[in-house]
């Protein structure tokens, strides 16, 4: 009886989106390609994170895709193109943020509200920082689905958006989410599978599991039963969809492994859990588990600078362990939950464990390859026209990744520095 009640509560969330007629493709395909040819001229281009820079380069984008990349002497500029002078700047592939949330109040008007404030906040939150593709790891589908539709239609300037449906453990309402928010808390594997099918049937792109839920400083973490997690994973994988998970401690990480989850949405600096075990690292590697570190998130959750420093050291160490073990690292900030839009600190913290090129890979080639987006992640002919123009060279200073002059999605400028 209790599980049926839980399903009815989560069903209210589902029906809210279904009532808007929002069933559709599970892949956000991108904005309509810009009719105008766009040329980036005179900058240095990193075709990929491991490539040498091409100086004084020309990038031509037409029909939403890159049609030419080369030196200024080798590439002919179409006479009707819009040309952007990129002298002194650096051009890289469009960035992915693999952990965002569209939960702020502004998105409540996503279905029918004016486009201008939505675009303005999208710029403040995401496109200002170079993001052309994002994974939303848990928002109200009644807001997020119409937002994606309007972005893809070109009404709102924003990134390519992928959406997940969330499942929580029984009695696992996190302390930091409003108590009045009715979350899908599941104790039965069959109910978990049913909810996963419902989410994917709505047009969501995958599942988010809270394998560990924080209940408060003086309360034990509520961990998800492995069978509940695996039931959702099996449904998602049967449809070729990924599963992300939020672990809170070692038990939550072990559940990620046992259930076959694809992506860990955070490092997990729980009490007494300062590093991944050798057994966990071996399983991560054999199962192809990816990690979104969200290091800067942990600087916002406590007020004591000493405690913050300790947590940061643990999370940086877990990232270092994971990367040195050969794991795929994906960039993500949990923005929307946090309000620190500036990505500079995340880059600085990641750089304690990764090289500049490795950090750039977490934004570009790593997610493109991991999520099988064959035409994204590189500045090469035939790839999508998703590009970022930076004011500085990120190989000289990793913080230059946050100094964005232009963000371009499918050949359309979705952010331009004033």
Residues linked to residue 68 through DSSP beta bridges, in sequence order = 60
Q: Return the exposure string of 60-84: e unless at least 16 CB atoms fall within 10 Å of the residue's CB, then b.
A: bbbebbbbbbeeeeebeeeeeeeeb
Its sign, for the CA torsion 199, 377, 122, 401, is: positive
Q: Kindly list the averaged pLDDT for each block of 10 residues, start to end, along the chain of length 418.
A: 42 42 37 75 98 98 97 93 98 98 96 97 98 96 96 97 96 79 91 97 96 83 96 98 96 97 94 93 98 95 85 96 98 96 98 98 98 97 98 98 98 97
- Report residue 257 as tokens: 């492994």
CATH number of the domain bearing residue 99: 3.20.20.140
Whether residue 288 is found in the same domain as residue 185 = yes
Residue 297 to residue 95: CA distance in whole angstroms: 19
**Does one domain contain both 252 and 157?**
yes
CA-based nearest residue to 29, from 375, 360, 366: 375
Q: How far apart are alpha carbons 407 and 417 in whole angstroms?
A: 9
Residue 259 CA to residue 242 CA, distance in Å, equals: 12
Q: Are residues 341 and 297 in the same domain?
A: yes
Number of domain units in the chain: 2
Spatial distance between the Cα atoms of 408 and 386, rounded to a whole number of angstroms:
5
Q: What pLDDT is recorded for position 17?
A: 41
Q: Which residues make Cβ contacts (< 8 Å) with residue 312, sequence separation at least 6? A: 295, 298, 299, 349
Whether 282 and 352 share a structural domain: yes
How many Cα atoms occupy the beta-carbon half-sphere of 280 within 13 Å? Answer: 21
CB count within 10 Å of CB 192 equals 30
Distance CA 170, CA 34 (A): 47
Torsion of CA 379, 93, 317, 162, to 10 degrees: -120
Residue 391 main-chain phi, psi, to 5 deg? -75, -15
Q: Quick one: 78 and 8 in the same domain?
A: no
User: Do residues 77 and 207 share a domain?
Assistant: no
Q: Is residue 411 domain-shared with residue 340, that is, in the same domain?
A: no
For residues 170 and 72, state if they share a domain.
no
Query: Do 357 and 398 belong together in one domain?
Result: no
Segments forming the whole domain that contains residue 86: 38-93+379-416
Give the residue from 93, 97, 163, 101 showing the smallest Cα distance to 133.
97
The pLDDT value given to residue 216 = 72
Q: Assess whether 79 and 165 both reside in one domain.
A: no
Q: What is the CATH number of the domain that holds 405?
A: 2.30.40.10
Strand 160-169 vs strand 185-186: parallel, antiparallel, or unpaired? Answer: parallel
How far from each other are the two terminal CA atoms of the chain, in whole angstroms? 57
pLDDT given for residue 35 in this prediction = 66
pLDDT recorded at residue 177:
78
The verdict on 350 and 361 lying in the same domain is: yes
Considering the domain architecture, whether residues 123 and 136 belong to the same structural domain is answered as yes
């Amino acid at each position: 009886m209790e599980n049926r009640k839980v399903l009815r509560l989560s069903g209210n969330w589902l029906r809210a989106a279904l009532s808007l007629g929002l069933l559709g493709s599970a892949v956000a395909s991108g904005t309509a390609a810009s009719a105008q040819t766009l040329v980036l001229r005179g900058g240095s281009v990193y075709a990929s994170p491991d490539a040498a820079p091409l100086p004084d380069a020309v990038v031509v984008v037409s029909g939403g895709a890159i049609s030419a990349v080369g030196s200024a002497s080798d590439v002919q500029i179409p006479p009707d193109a819009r040309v952007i002078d990129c002298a002194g700047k650096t051009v890289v592939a469009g960035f992915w943020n693999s952990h965002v949330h569209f939960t702020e109040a502004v998105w409540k008007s996503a279905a029918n509200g004016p486009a201008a404030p939505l675009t303005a906040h999208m710029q403040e939150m995401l496109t200002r920082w170079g993001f052309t593709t994002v994974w939303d790891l848990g928002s109200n589908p009644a807001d997020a689905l119409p937002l994606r539709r309007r972005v893809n239609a070109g009404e709102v300037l924003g990134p390519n958006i992928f959406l997940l449906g969330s499942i929580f453990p029984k009695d696992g309402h996190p302390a930091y989410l409003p108590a009045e928010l009715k979350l899908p808390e599941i104790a039965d594997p069959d109910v978990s599978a049913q909810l996963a099918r419902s989410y994917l049937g709505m047009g969501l792109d995958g599942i988010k599991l809270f394998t560990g839920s924080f209940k408060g400083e003086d309360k034990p973490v509520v961990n998800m039963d492995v069978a509940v997690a695996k039931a959702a994973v099996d449904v998602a994988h049967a449809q070729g969809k990924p599963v992300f998970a939020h672990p809170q401690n070692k038990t939550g990480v072990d559940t990620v492994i046992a259930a076959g989850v694809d992506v860990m949405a955070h490092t997990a600096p729980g009490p007494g859990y300062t590093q991944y075990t050798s057994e966990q690292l071996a399983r991560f590697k054999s199962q192809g588990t990816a990690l979104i570190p969200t290091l800067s998130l942990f600087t916002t959750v406590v007020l004591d600078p000493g405690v913050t420093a300790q947590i940061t050291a643990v999370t940086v160490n877990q990232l270092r362990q994971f990367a040195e073990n050969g794991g795929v690292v994906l960039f993500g900030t949990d923005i929307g939950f946090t309000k620190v839009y500036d990505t500079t600190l995340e880059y600085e913290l990641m750089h304690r464990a990764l090289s500049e090129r490795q950090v750039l890979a977490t934004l570009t080639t790593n997610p493109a390859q991991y999520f099988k987006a064959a035409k994204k992640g590189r500045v090469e002919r035939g790839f999508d026209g998703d590009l970022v123009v930076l004011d500085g060279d990120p190989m000289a200073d990793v913080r230059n990744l946050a100094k964005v002059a232009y963000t371009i999605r499918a050949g359309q400028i979705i952010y331009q520095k004033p």
